[in-house]
Chain A
Amino acid sequence: NAGVTQTPKFRILKIGQSMTLQCTQDMNHNYMYWYRQDPGMGLKLIYYSVGAGITDKGEVPNGYNVSRSTTEDFPLRLELAAPSQTSVYFCASSLLRVTSTDTQYFGPGTRLTVL
């Protein structure tokens, strides 16, 4: 199993450009998450999904959009990139059931710079 994979690893954007960060997991997990981590800071939840076709906002959703058309894929879309979106973006997944724990498996991250 590859686990959680993310592409690209690095990206530099100009202000106002758009891009999609890709995330794929092969563990058949129902939950998927997008976090951002600013330098020296903790993880902030952007969006999450409880299954295909269902997404919900986290604590910092502004400027981002997501979709979940399949169990495996959870792309994050940045529209009109701004310098404040310079960060490391982590995708994570978990197999969360009513009686289970939410152990999350993280991808390697995408390091995004907006200039």
Chain B
Amino acid sequence: GQQVMQIPQYQHVQEGEDFTTYCNSSTTLSNIQWYKQRPGGHPVFLIQLVKSGEVKKQKRLTFQFGEAKKNSSLHITATQTTDVGTYFCAGQKTSGSRLTFGEGTQLTVNP
């Protein structure tokens, strides 16, 4: 079955440092989504990438979808304590199919 892998599992950074999490799928994806879960909270949808090579930005967050549509990354510039949480990628193999979630990257930011 489809697998979505994320690395690293954990990342500790000092406030102001950059952070990147990577997502890799065993199969080509029709789209990839990113979710954020704050400590004690629930996953919340951040963004969706559909096109090969697509790059989207949300303030300090930059999301990329690989040319082969099998990998993606989330980069946070100059982390803040509000960025703390677990970031999940989730891939959809074809339109109409269910999402498969990665294991998540847990980010802690030291002030």
Q: Which residues of A contact B (CB under 8 A)?
A: 31, 40-43, 48, 90, 92, 94, 96-109
Contact = CB atoms under 8 A, between A and B. Distances in A.
B103 interface: yes
A41 B90 CA distance: 15
Contacts of A40: 106
B99 interface: yes
Given A96-B96, A101-B92, A109 B101 contact: no
Interface of B: 30-31, 33, 35, 41-45, 48, 50, 88, 90, 92, 95-99, 101-104, 106
B101 A43 contact: yes
Nearest to A90: B42
Contact of B96 (A43, A92, A97): A97
Given A98-B96, A103-B33, A108 B42 contact: yes
B45 A105 contact: yes
Contacts of B88: 42-43
Given A42-B88, A42-B104, A106 B96 contact: no
Nearest to B106: A40
Contact of A103 (B45, B102, B103): B45
A98 B95 contact: yes
27 contacts: A31-B98, A40-B106, A41-B103, A42-B102, A42-B103, A43-B88, A43-B101, A48-B98, A90-B42, A97-B96, A98-B95, A99-B95, A99-B96, A101-B30, A101-B50, A101-B92, A102-B33, A102-B97, A102-B98, A102-B99, A103-B48, A104-B43, A104-B90, A104-B99, A108-B41, A108-B42, A109-B42
Given A40-B106, A42-B101, A102 B42 contact: no
Contacts of B102: 42
B103 A101 contact: no
A101 B101 contact: no
A107 B95 CA distance: 24
A4 to B, nearest CB: 9
Nearest to A50: B98
A78 B19 CA distance: 39
Contacts of B104: 42-43
